[in-house]
Amino acid sequence: MAEFRGRALALLIQAVDGEIQRLRALPDELSVPEDEERLVAFENLADDLADAYDLALKTESGLLPYERLVPSQS
């Protein structure tokens, strides 16, 4: 599995969170069945990225706390 530095992880986390928020905000009439599958996939990815970022916080300095990256999760 590829390893990412903390700053790259931070950007990935924010991008994934943005897509999660977009999918959650879709009105029912604009949603297609694949959107629910996509949402679940992005939520699972967000969990994996959070774990990786937690490790990066322990080894790299200058990283923002996770809660500051995804304020909607705090």
pLDDT at 71: 82
Q: Is residue 73 part of a domain?
A: no
Which CATH number does the domain housing residue 48 bear? 1.10.287.2500
Please tell me the pTM assigned to this model: 0.87
Residue ranges making up the domain that contains 56: 6-66
- Give me the tens of pLDDT residue by residue for the chain, a chain 74 residues long: 566 789 999 999 999 999 999 999 999 899 998 999 999 999 999 999 999 999 999 999 999 999 999 987 65
pLDDT at 4: 75
pLDDT at 56: 94
Q: Is residue 19 part of a domain?
A: yes
Q: Is residue 43 part of a domain?
A: yes
The closest alpha carbon to 10, from 43, 41, 54, 58, belongs to: 54
Q: Is residue 53 part of a domain?
A: yes
- On the 0-12 / 13-18 / 19+ scale of CB atoms within 10 A, 23 is middle
Q: Is residue 14 part of a domain?
A: yes
Counted domains in the chain = 1
Spatial CB neighbours of 59, under 8 Å, sequence gap ≥ 6: none
pLDDT at 63: 94
Q: Is residue 74 part of a domain?
A: no
